[in-house]
Amino acid sequence: MANVVVVGAQWGDEGKGKIVDWLSERADVIARFQGGHNAGHTLVIEGAVYKLHALPSGVVRGGKLSVIGNGVVLDPWHLIEEIETVRAQGVEISPETLMIAENTPLILPIHGELDRARETANSVAKIGTTGRGIGPAYEDKVGRRSVRVADLADDATLEARVDRALVHHDALRRGLGLPEVDRAALLAALRDVGPKIQPYAGPVWKVMSEARKAGRRILFEGAQGALLDIDFGTYPFVTSSNVIAGQAATGTGMGPGGIDFVLGIVKAYTTRVGEGPFPTELFDADGQRLGERGHEFGTTTGRKRRCGWFDAVLVRQTCATSGVNGIALTKLDVLDGFEELKICTGYELDGERLDYLPIAAEAQARVTPVYETMAGWSDSTAGARSWADLPGEAVKYVRRIEELIRCPVALLSTSPERDDTILVTDPFSD
């Protein structure tokens, strides 16, 4: 059976939650492979709204195994709170339906404190982080001083891990004018949360391998978007992990041969939260209209998203770096009623025409978009479930996007409701 990776192909907030939920009904295993609770997925199911941050989107579907892979950094206190919130909405979560990789690094309170202190102190160029400790947790992972899920089961190991981390963090905190970490309080908090997390811990790599051999359908769920990738995003205004599809393999322990189809989620226009370059950003009435009609506020932070025209250059680039086989185009209905629409087909920089975004931050900030103008449509696309339900100009817009990004549309989403989806290519088909 085919295994599918879902990645955001812009700066995040593309509508991955609905698409993952739509696909998860037909999957057996749903795995998160990177990011932390800075991710925000909103699911609307039969009128009920679920807002997930750490939990895989599959938890709202019965009979599925949801997996948090080792590529994630996990705030255990937030996870327990989120589990209780979802349970209160009638969703049952147990060790039979949720597994956390034993080698998953933990986000500690000291990570959030460091994250916020750095952002406050940085008057030169703020990154625009969520302040939830994701970046510092990843730093500790590669610095080999993380506390991991497995460490919660052995007190001597836990103390050793904490002591190693504090050598680093206390020095940093002194430099930022923060008090040194209360070691006893941190250990007490970890000893308290450990028994709540341990029942979910397991060898995810082994379970994933067995699921693949048994022919079970696996859905890999990414967070954020490829333009926030630590290597291929608009550095330094990026997240602290690899977001592109290749991370699905290393972030769960599944070999790359286990990936059969990569689905890139793409919004019919472009948005971004936080700082960093944004070539097609609009500061006029059209930008305001996109934000209002698209309800462009972050699920996690509530921050207003910056809005702009569709950037085919960036999406073509992310489709290449993630090996996207097909895209799911979302929020087409937000464009209803525009007399004309613009698509960015290239950039200009110092008189030179570019068909990609340069890697240097200084150059990224100075590129200007080259636009192609298309006619809009007055009829509604909201709720369309077949191509015949779409206005002709809307179909032309979608087809032009396919041409420019050199990748076909596999799914077309026309509202937040999961059934308002036009299926062109089934990602799970062999």
- Whether residue 236 has a cis bond before it, omega within 30° of 0: yes
The string of DSSP codes covering 258-294 is G--EEEEEEESSEEE-SSS--TTB--SHHHHHHHHHT
**What are the helix (H) ranges across 71-226?**
76-88, 109-121, 134-142, 155-175, 183-197, 204-213
Is the pTM for the entire model greater than 0.85?
Answer: yes
Question: Helix (H, G, I), strand (E, B), or coil: what is residue 18?
Answer: helix
**Residue 304's pLDDT is what?**
87
Alpha-carbon gap, residue 187 to 174, rounded angstroms = 20
Residue 15 confidence (pLDDT) = 86
Q: Which two tokens stand for residue 199?
A: 């029942």
Mind telling me the catalytic residues? Answer: 13, 41
Shortest CA distance to 233 belongs to which of 41, 36, 38, 11? 11
Report whether 5 contacts 261 (CB < 8 A): yes
Angle of helix 183-197 relative to helix 76-88, nearest 10 degrees, comes to: 40
Bridge partners (DSSP) listed for residue 51: 42
Residue 65's pLDDT is 95
Bridge partners of 310?
Answer: 343
Cβ neighbourhood burial of 295 (10 Å; 0-12, 13-18, 19+)? exposed
CA distance 245 to 318: 10
Helix (H, G, I), strand (E, B), or coil: what is residue 224? coil
Mean pLDDT in order along the chain per 10 residues (430 residues): 92 86 89 88 76 87 92 97 93 94 98 90 62 93 98 98 98 94 98 97 97 95 94 94 96 94 97 94 96 81 87 98 97 96 98 96 96 97 93 97 97 85 87
- Contact at 8 Å (CB) between 422 and 395? no
